[in-house]
Amino acid sequence: MLIIGKHLPRRTFLQGLGATVALPMLDAMRPARGLSRLSAAADPTRLICIEAVHGAAGCSPFGATQNFWSPAATGSAFDLTPSALLPLEPWRKYLTIVSNTDVRMAEAYKPEEIGGDHFRSSAVYLTQAHPTQTESSDIYVGTSLDQLHAQRFGQATPIPSMQLCIEPIDRAGGCAYGYSCVYTDMVSWASPTQPLPMIRDPRIAFDQLFGTGGSSAERASRRRTTGSILDFITGRIADLQRELGAADRGRMDQYLENVREIERRIQRTEERNRSGEARELAGAPSGVPDSYEDHIKLMFDLQVLAFEADMTRVFTLKTGRDASGRVFPESGTSAGFHNASHHGNNPKRVAEYFQINKYHVGMLPYLLERLRSTMDGGTPLLDKTVVMFGSPMADSNVHNHRRCPLILLGGANGQLAGNSHLKAPEGTPMANAMLTLLHRLGHDDLHSFGDSTGELAL
C-alpha cells in the first residue's frame, strides 16, 4: 500500500536526460478498493512466437521411428525421454505438443518454385500463406498471427510488437530461386505487403525499450562508458521510493537491478567485441555475443523485462536463418547446421541433427523460468503468456512441409491446459492450430487464418 495514499497510473515512467524507464506492475497501481486482478480486456495474454528453421530430425523417416520429436503416446501420459523435447520435462504442465500438422503453403505451387523452400518458408510460418515469387517490390504473403494479436491488443502499449532475430538479415534484393530476401529474413507481416524489420543487436532492443534518447552521437558516447541509464533517473527513483510501501520498494529494486544487469551484459559484450580480439561472428554488431546461448538468453531477458513493464505484449524471435552453416559445439556435434539438416536419412547423421534440435529446445527452459519467477499483479508472467515454438519445415533433408514441429508453452491466462500431446488427423493444416490459438487469445470473430479448414481442439 502507499505510504501517502497516492495512486500511480499503470503507465508510469521515470524520465531524465534522455532515459525513459517504464515501471513494473506495483500495488500502488491497483484500482481504488484494490481489485486483485485486472480485467481480461485490460490484461490480454502475452505472446511470443519463435521460429526454428529447417524442421526437426524427428520429422525424417528414421527420426520418426525413434520419436526424436513427437512422443509415441498422445494425451497426458507421453514419454519425452527419446525426444528433442526432453529439456521441457520439468515444464510439462505448461507444455502442449501439436503434432502431425502440415504447412502446405510453404510448398512449391508451380515448377519454377521447386527448390526454393529455404527462401519462402520463414514468410509462411506465421502467415500460413503462400508467398508471391518475386525478387522485386511486389512482395505479397499474408498478415502474420503475431501482428493480428498486436493490432488488437498491442495498441495500448508504447511498442505494439517487437521482432528479434539471432542471425544476420542484412541482405537486399533477391536471395535465390526468384525470391526476395525479405521472405527469408522476416517472419512478422503487418499486412500481406508489409514485412516488419527484425532486431539482431541486443543493444538496439535495449535502447528501444528503455528510451535512451538524444542524438546518435550522444547514444554512441554513452555506450562507450560503463555508466547506466539508471544514473540519469536516480533522483526520480529516490522520489518514487519514498512514496511506495515496502513490497513495492522491493519489487522496484529487483526490477531495476534486472535492468542494470542486462545493461552490464551488453556493455561487457561490446567491450570485448571492440577490443580487437578475433571474433567467431566476423562482422556482427558489437552488441551481438559470439555465443549463441549468451545471445538468445539476452533476447529472452529483454522480452521478460518488456512484459514486466508492459512496454509490449507481443514478440517474435527468429532463431536462425535458412541455409545457415552455423556450428553449435555445445550441442555435442561439430556439424554445420544446414549440412546436418541434409542428413540423407542416415541414422548416424539424423542423430547428429537431433542433438542440435535438442540443444535449441534446451534454451527454452531459461525463458520459462524467467517468466515464472517474474510476477505481474500477483501472478507469474508464465501464467499470462503463451510461447509458440515451431517450424514451417518438417523433414529438412527433402524440404518437406508435412508433419511439422509445433509446441505451445505457458498458461495463456487459463486458455491452455498443458501436459498434453495432440496428434492431428492426417492432412490437418498447421493453420487450424493457429486459428484455434487466436480464438483462445481473444480473436473470437476470426473465422479463418491462412489455409485453415476449421478449429483444432487444444
12-27 residue pLDDT tens: 888 876 778 888 888 8
Which of 348, 330, 232, 242 has the alpha carbon at shortest distance from 290? 330
Q: Is the dihedral of CA 428, 73, 385, 389 positive or negative?
A: negative
57-107 residue pLDDT tens: 999 999 999 999 999 999 999 999 999 999 999 999 999 999 999 999 999
Does residue 32 register a pLDDT over 60?
Answer: no
Neighbours of 259 (CB within 10 A): 22
The stretch 401-412 carries a mean pLDDT of 98
Neighbours of 35 (CB within 10 A): 10
Does residue 269 register a pLDDT over 60?
Answer: yes
Does residue 364 register a pLDDT over 60?
Answer: yes
Does residue 152 register a pLDDT over 50?
Answer: yes
> 191: which strand partners?
194
pLDDT at 34: 46
163-219 residue pLDDT tens: 999 998 866 667 889 999 999 999 999 999 999 999 999 999 999 998 765 556 655
Nearest-angstrom CA–CA distance, 290 and 338: 19
Q: Look at residue 389 and give its three-state secondary structure.
A: strand
Q: What mean pLDDT, rounded, does the chain reach?
A: 91
Running DSSP on this structure, what letter comes out for residue 199? B
For residue 103, what are the contacts with CB-CB under 8 A and spacing of at least 6? 121, 124, 125, 128, 392, 393, 394, 401, 404, 429, 430
> 261: which strand partners?
none
pLDDT at 19: 79
Neighbours of 75 (CB within 10 A): 10
Q: Look at residue 348 and give its three-state secondary structure.
A: helix
415-453 residue pLDDT tens: 999 999 999 999 999 999 999 999 999 999 999 999 999
306-322 residue pLDDT tens: 999 999 999 999 999 99
117-146 residue pLDDT tens: 999 999 999 999 999 999 999 999 999 999
Using alpha carbons, list the distances in angstroms from residue 446 to 11, 52, 87, 141, 441: 30, 26, 34, 18, 11
- Here the cell at position 80 is 519425452
Does residue 35 register a pLDDT over 60?
Answer: no
* HSE of 261, CA atoms in CB hemisphere, 13 A: 11
328-338 residue pLDDT tens: 999 999 999 99
Does residue 147 register a pLDDT over 60?
Answer: yes
Nearest-angstrom CA–CA distance, 235 and 147: 38
Q: Look at residue 247 and give its three-state secondary structure.
A: helix
202, amino acid identity = P
The stretch 37-48 carries a mean pLDDT of 75
174, amino acid identity = G
> 13: which strand partners?
22
- Here the cell at position 264 is 552490464
Does residue 2 register a pLDDT over 70?
Answer: no
Running DSSP on this structure, what letter comes out for residue 55? B
- Position with higher pLDDT, 455 vs 220: 455
Instruction: Report percent pLDDT > 90 for the chain.
Output: 78
The stretch 222-248 carries a mean pLDDT of 81
pLDDT at 1: 32
Q: Which domains does the chain have, with CATH numbers?
A: 1-36+206-287 (no CATH), 42-200+288-440 (3.40.720.10)
